[in-house]
Structure formats: structure tokens, C-alpha cells
């Protein structure tokens, strides 16, 4: 019996294929480096996504304010005040603070600052049609965050339009 153990102990074994310790270490290093690169890109992707959401919401709010002002001007009456936002339709600049849902709120609860600018009426030349009211070039600018001034805002959206009243 001893001879049998002795022979099997010294007989050459068939070589098995396997990874060496160096190969495993290099593979783990490459995988770790790749994972760190992917994790490093997550904050950039999240901030880009948040900017896109804010920009989309701001554009929707700007369009809603513009439509609200146009509706108030078409309805006529005095004073012309937009229904949803309470902006008076008159030349000059008005500021409204708005929540993420698009509702007017005090500055403390606001996400967006909406600045409505209505310019001077433009008088047409001799070929003007007296039926139409003079047009005013106007704009709605939405900035975020609300308490920031124009220089320190994270972003803004501007919608120009023509208003007749």
C-alpha cells in the first residue's frame, strides 16, 4: 500500500489551466478603476438632469404666464390683471414668485422668480389699421432659484411675445 501512495505522489500531474495571482490582481485593478470612473460621472448626470427639469418647468411657467397675460388683455376692462398670477398688464416690470407647481407664493416658498416686462406701445405708420390696438413688445423671464438676483441665478428662460391691449 505504501508503494501505491508513493507512486501516485511522485507521478507528474496534468497541468490545470488557471489564472495567476498577478492576472487576478490586474483584472481587479482595471475593474475598480472602471467602477470609480462610472461612479464619478453620476453627480454630473444628476446635476444635468436637475438643470433640464428646472429649465423645462421654467419654460412651462413662462408660457403659462404669457398666455395668462394675453387672455387678460383680450378680455379688456380696467385694470387689466392676469387671472392666475395677479400681474397687472401695464407698461413696466412686474415680479411674481412661483412654486414648483406653478402657483404664486411668497418669496420664502418660491422656487422660481418670474419677471414680466411690458414695453411701450408701438405705433404703426400711416398704413395702420385702426381696428387693432397698438402692440407692445413684452417678455417673461423665469429665473431660479427665486431669491437670487440675475447675476447669481442658476439658470433662466426668456419668452418674448407681443401683447395688444
pLDDT band at 142 (very low <50, low <70, confident <90, very high): very high
pLDDT band at 90 (very low <50, low <70, confident <90, very high): confident
In a domain, 65, yes or no: yes
- Into how many domains does the chain fold? 1
- The pLDDT assigned to 10 comes to 56
pLDDT tens track for 97-123: 988 887 888 888 899 999 989 888 776
Is it the case that residue 127 has pLDDT exceeding 80? no
C-alpha 113/C-alpha 104 separation (Å) is 10
Name beta bridge partners: 98: 104, 112
Section 127-148 average pLDDT: 77
- The pLDDT assigned to 31 comes to 96
Q: Which range marks the domain in which residue 78 is found?
A: 22-164
Is it the case that residue 6 has pLDDT exceeding 80? no
In a domain, 39, yes or no: yes
In a domain, 73, yes or no: yes
Angle (nearest 5°) at CA 142 between 139 and 146: 140
In a domain, 14, yes or no: no
- The pLDDT assigned to 55 comes to 92
In a domain, 157, yes or no: yes
- Give me the percent of the chain exceeding a pLDDT of 70: 81
In a domain, 110, yes or no: yes
pLDDT band at 39 (very low <50, low <70, confident <90, very high): very high
In a domain, 11, yes or no: no
C-alpha 104/C-alpha 110 separation (Å) is 8
- The pLDDT assigned to 120 comes to 82
In a domain, 77, yes or no: yes
C-alpha 161/C-alpha 159 separation (Å) is 7
Contacts for 64 with CB less than 8 Å, ≥ 6 apart:
84, 102
- The pLDDT assigned to 7 comes to 55
Amino acid at each position: 500500500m505504501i508503494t501505491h501512495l508513493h507512486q501516485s505522489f511522485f507521478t507528474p500531474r496534468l497541468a490545470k489551466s488557471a489564472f495567476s495571482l498577478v492576472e487576478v490582481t490586474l483584472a481587479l485593478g482595471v475593474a475598480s478603476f472602471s467602477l470609480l470612473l462610472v461612479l464619478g460621472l453620476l453627480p454630473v448626470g444628476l446635476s444635468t438632469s436637475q438643470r433640464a427639469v428646472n429649465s423645462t418647468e421654467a419654460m412651462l411657467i413662462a408660457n403659462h404666464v404669457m398666455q395668462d397675460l394675453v387672455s387678460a388683455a383680450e378680455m379688456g376692462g380696467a385694470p387689466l390683471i392676469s387671472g392666475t398670477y395677479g400681474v397687472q398688464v401695464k407698461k413696466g416690470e412686474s415680479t411674481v414668485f412661483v412654486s414648483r407647481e406653478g402657483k404664486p407664493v411668497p418669496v420664502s416658498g418660491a422656487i422660481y422668480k418670474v419677471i414680466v416686462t411690458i414695453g411701450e406701445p408701438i405705433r404703426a405708420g400711416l398704413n395702420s389699421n385702426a381696428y387693432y390696438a397698438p402692440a407692445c413688445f413684452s417678455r417673461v423671464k423665469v429665473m431660479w432659484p427665486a431669491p437670487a438676483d440675475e447675476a447669481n441665478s442658476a439658470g433662466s428662460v426668456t419668452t418674448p411675445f407681443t401683447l395688444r391691449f
